[in-house]
Amino acid sequence: MNPEPQTRQVRCPACGGKSLYSPANPWRPFCSERCRQRDLGAWASEEFRMPTEDSPDDAPYGDPHTNEE
């Protein structure tokens, strides 16, 4: 006799709502495809960044956002 697999609810990283963390949820750990796409968009537009003490030194190469040298 196999025991019932435990279902666990976690906080959705995108909206903060409840999300089922199990193979039954194809978007886990997100609650929906919309939240998964929203998170992917945030990564693609570089909204998530690692904090640093110093800004990168782009002087030898110019600013990549303005193409100034």
Query: How high is the pLDDT of residue 19?
Result: 96
Structure confidence by residue, pLDDT tens digits, 25-51: 999 999 999 999 999 999 899 888 877
Per-residue confidence (pLDDT) for residue 48, from 0 to 100: 81
Residue keyed to tokens 């976690």: 10
Distance of alpha carbon 52 from alpha carbon 54, whole angstroms: 6
Predicted model pTM: 0.60
Residue ranges and CATH numbers for the domains of the chain are 8-44 (3.30.50.10)
DSSP bridge pairs for 68: 63
d(CA 8, CA 21): 5
Find, among 1, 27, 3, 6, the residue nearest to 15 by Cα: 27
pLDDT value, residue 59? 60
